[in-house]
Amino acid sequence: MEAGKRMEKVLEKSLNQKVKRRSFLKVFAAAAATSVVPVKEATAFSFSKYFQKHYKEMTEADKKKVFARITKEAKEKYNTSINISEPQAITGVKYAYCLNLKACNGSRMCVTACAEENNIDPDIGSYIKVLEMPIGTSNTERGDLFYDEHNLPKDGKYYLPTQCNQCDNAPCTKVCPVEATWKEKDGLVVIDYDWCIGCRYCQAACPYEARHFNFKEPKIDKSKLNTQQSYLSNRVRSKGVMEKCTFCLHRSREGQYPACLEACPTGARKFGNILDPKSEVAQIFKHKRVFVLKEELNTMPQFFYYFD
């Protein structure tokens, strides 16, 4: 490691900038490591994943094989048995999410719950970001992600949680070069993680910072692993692919509320089938004045905000 530190200092001086320690040391360390016995932690390389079909083209037999592979990989990596499901879209259902901005107090309990429910790598953190907004604007660029955690809610501020809006006219599904992401019949925008090539064009196209990329192999705490997984939502991803909020597809398609809604301490979140006039979300449309973010982009989000 000494040689590495010295080389780093030399490069820093000549490049006149701080060398990114992690990447440089890794380069050096890996050079040493490659000549030694392979580390046990090395990710199991599975060939079959690379020959797999697109999810929409898989037969039942294909799916069985794929789910068996995923279950086996999970067993090897986490020494736990997981369940891989693929709940189908329910006919006559189109999901909508409504968020009461008067009720949200910036607690970030939704952020934490999402991270645990969806087996998200800590570097990505969560699919939800809560912004502290000054009263008088709905421009998220003026929001503060790093707000002080104490004495919430603060005067003169309101709190705006953002996540994937499952847009009806999604820019992300439009730009994906391999159709690895698409909009399902019930409105959810999903990703086939094994088909995604990791070009990140969808991340550039999304106006809401809703898409996240795995820059490295996800490291999930074994004890925190959520074993109830589904192919299109919360199964553990691999490095180099995109992921995002799916309104907890593995829960919502089984009639349950997303994890963020259940965690919210103030009941600010409402979720359901917008086509059902008796649902909470349809009633919110009837009685409240809802709006969406960046409406002028015509993305037609299915995540609605309102003040009570």
Partner 1 sequence: MIVEALTGSKVYFLWLGFLTILFLLGVFAYYQQLKFGLEVTNLSQIVSWGAYIANFTFLVGVAAAAVLMVVPAYVFKIPEVKEIVIIAEIMAFVALILCLMFIVVDLGDPLKSWHLIPYIGKLNFPQSVLAWDVIILNGYLLLNAHVPGYVLYQMYLGNEPKKKYYYPFVFLSIFWAISIHTVTAFLYSGLGGKPFWNSAILAPRFLISAFSAGPALLILVFYTINKVRYHFKVKVKVFKILKSIAAIAFPINLFLVFCEVFKEFYTDSAHVASARYLFTGLHGHNILVPYIWFAIIAQIFVITVFWVPKLRDNSKFLLPACVVGFIGIWIEKGMGLIIPGFLPSPHGIIVDYTPSITEIFVCLGIWSFGALLFTMMAKVAIEILNGKLRVK
Partner 2 sequence: MKYLLLFLIIPSLYAQVEIEQRLDIIKGFPCMKCHGSFVNKKSHFPLNTPHENIKLNHYKEINNCYFCHDRDNRNQLKLINGKKIAFNQGYKVCIQCHGEKNRDWKLGIHGKQVGSWSGKKYRYSCISCHEPHKPQFSKWIADPLPKYPWIDSARKGGH
Site residues, partner 2 (CB under 8 A): 90, 93, 98, 100, 105-109, 111-112, 115, 122-126, 130, 144-147, 149-153, 215, 252, 255-257, 261-262, 264-267, 270-273, 276, 278-280, 283-284, 287-288, 308
With CB cut-offs between 5 and 8 Å by kind, which of partner 1, partner 2, none does residue 199 bind? partner 1
With CB cut-offs between 5 and 8 Å by kind, which of partner 2, partner 1, none does residue 289 bind? none
Give dist(CA 154, CA 52) in Å, integer: 51
**Three-state secondary-structure class, residue 33:** helix
Residues in 243-272 at the binding interface with partner 1, rule: CB under 8 A: none
Closest C-alpha to 68, from 44, 48, 45: 48
In the complex, least distance from residue 267 CB atom to partner 2, rounded to whole angstroms: 3
Among residues 164, 241, 263, 264, which is the contact residue for partner 1, using CB under 8 A? 241
| Number of neighbouring beta carbons within 10 Å of residue 225 | 17
| Number of neighbouring beta carbons within 10 Å of residue 15 | 9
- Alpha carbon distances (Å) from 76 to 72, 148, 193, 220: 6, 41, 19, 14
280's enclosing H/E stretch is helix 280-287
Where residue 74 falls (left for φ over 0; alpha for ψ -120 to 50; beta otherwise) is: alpha
**Three-state secondary-structure class, residue 68:** helix
| Angle subtended at Cα 231 by Cα 110 and Cα 184, rounded to the nearest 5 degrees | 80
Among 49-57, 58-66, 221-229, 244-252, the segment contacting partner 1 (CB under 8 A): 49-57
Using CB under 8 A as the binding rule, whether residue 142 contacts partner 1 is answered as: yes
153 vs 240, beta carbon nearer partner 1: 240
Residue whose pair of structure tokens reads 């039942």 in the numeric block = 60
24 vs 306, beta carbon nearer partner 1: 24
55 vs 95, beta carbon nearer partner 2: 95
Using CB under 8 A as the binding rule, whether residue 207 contacts partner 1 is answered as: yes
Give dist(CA 250, CA 232) in Å, integer: 8
**Is the bond leading into 153 cis (omega within 30 degrees of zero)?**
yes
Among residues 217, 262, 276, 280, which is the contact residue for partner 1, using CB under 8 A? 217
Question: How big is the site for partner 1, counted in residues (CB under 8 A)?
Answer: 63
Using CB under 8 A as the binding rule, whether residue 204 contacts partner 1 is answered as: yes
The site for partner 1 (CB under 8 A) is made up of 11, 17, 19-20, 22-24, 26-27, 30-31, 50, 54, 57, 123-124, 129, 131, 139-145, 162, 171, 174-180, 195-201, 203-209, 212-217, 238-242, 294, 297-299
